[in-house]
Amino acid sequence: MTIVDEQEAEALATGDIVAGRYRVLRVLGRGATGTVYEAEHQWTQRRVALKVLRAELSKNERVVDRFLREAQVCAGLSHPALVAVLDMGQDEHDGLLYLAQELVEGKTLRALLDERSPRAEAEVVAVVDDIAGALAVVHAAGLVHRDVKPENIIVSIDASNGEVRAKLIDFGIAREVDRDSTQTRTQLGALLGTPRYMSPEQARATGEIDARSDQYSLAVVAYECLTGRTPHDGASTPLLLAAILTEPARPIDRRSSGISAGRSAAIMRALSSSPEARFATVRAFADAVRAPPRVPSGRVAALAFGATALVALLIGLRMHATPSAGAQRGADAAVLDAAIVGPAPDADDVATDVFNGDVAIDDDTPERGASPDRAQDADRARAMRRMNGRSSPVVEAGAPQPTGTTAPEDVVTARPALRPATFGDAGSWLRPAFVR
């Protein structure tokens, strides 16, 4: 757990030289075991982050072992999101242990949260992605960081393009997962880490933790960045630990309604009390957070159903307001028939119109002793009507009409071609054709 003592007297002052080659420039930060300075190498002028162990702790074997272990762990790992270890040693004059690391330009995530909280979703996704990449390398080496928190994440933002980069620091309490229990497990009752970001299994202080514990801690960091709060509340450390051990994480959508559903679900899964319910790896967790938000399948189905119903309604309204195609054709045919044939003639009126082989004839004429030529003309007229797509067969002259049916001459489905007509003796009743 990190303890910051603002009143602690600095072990080093600006201008002091450490190990004959690092000149102290300023204080970068303080921790439970030491102070981090910005320093410059006397020979190369390279600036470094110089972590110096507090003098009173240099005789504590346990603390010294962790300090050296951090150097060994970091020196054996390589990733863009991990701070590189450049040097380590002990000053021969005052006995101070130091660790020289890559100097990262930027601010801690904690400082950024103090400036503005919650943070933009895209920024949080970038931080989670970088830190997950670093932790994946740590876990592949058989290690658990055990102290993932905003104070141990350095964030730099490129002013030219807004690109966000994050680095994981402080491996002081990292440990191996598969070493013998007598060497690696934390002594029962010794709590190492920062309570607010501990997984339930880490809060039990049994030492039975693995890489999924770091996944939980990273999910707490993401949760805080997106909401400004952490998943559990407690007025004191014991109450906070009790909440972590006995209560599920508060749903993130109750803290903030603006987070996409996919990311909310990913974070809440990583915050599961049971390690088995979390993602298999921290990389899988980061991939789920980075994935573009999707509309839940239930909403997709609802939207599709609504769209279909709307289309059906519009079609129904259109059909109700517009006559059907068959009805429209029937209406057009009726007008055309009326225009071409005209009203039914009197008994003494007979008309034969010859349109260069197309004949329109009144079918009552054969009963009046029509000549064979006129009978042939009538046959040709019937045939031409069939070819022109009349919807009903031509009824023979004089044949009885079926009861309740429409006379065949009253239904036309295709408009006959009109040519200049040669009028017969009944041309007085034939009206000029009206073409729609």
Who contacts 277 (Cβ-Cβ below 8 Å, separation ≥6)? 269
**431: amino acid identity, one letter:** R
Q: What is the pTM of this model?
A: 0.63
Give the homologous superfamily in CATH for domain 1-103: Phosphorylase Kinase; domain 1 (3.30.200.20)
Q: What stretch of H or E contains 303? A: helix 297-321
pLDDT value at residue 383: 62
Catalytically active residues, by annotation: 147
Q: Residue written as tokens 């006397």? A: 42
Give the length of the chain: 436
Query: Which DSSP letter does residue 295 get?
Result: -
Give the residue extent of every domain in the chain.
1-103, 105-291, 325-410
pLDDT value at residue 6: 43
The topology under which CATH files domain 105-291 is: Transferase(Phosphotransferase); domain 1 (1.10.510)
Residuewise pLDDT in 10s, the chain (436 residues): 343 344 445 678 999 999 999 999 999 888 777 899 999 999 999 999 999 998 888 888 888 888 887 888 888 888 999 998 899 998 888 888 999 999 998 999 999 999 999 999 999 999 999 999 999 999 999 999 999 999 999 999 888 888 999 999 888 777 766 544 434 334 444 567 789 999 999 999 877 899 999 999 999 999 999 999 999 999 999 999 999 999 999 999 999 888 989 999 999 999 999 999 999 999 999 999 998 555 455 555 555 556 666 666 666 666 655 555 455 555 444 444 444 444 444 444 433 343 344 434 344 444 444 455 556 666 666 666 555 554 444 444 444 555 544 444 444 444 444 444 444 444 444 445 444 4
Coil vs helix vs strand at 228: coil
Who contacts 290 (Cβ-Cβ below 8 Å, separation ≥6)? 125, 128, 129
pLDDT value at residue 326: 52
pLDDT value at residue 394: 44
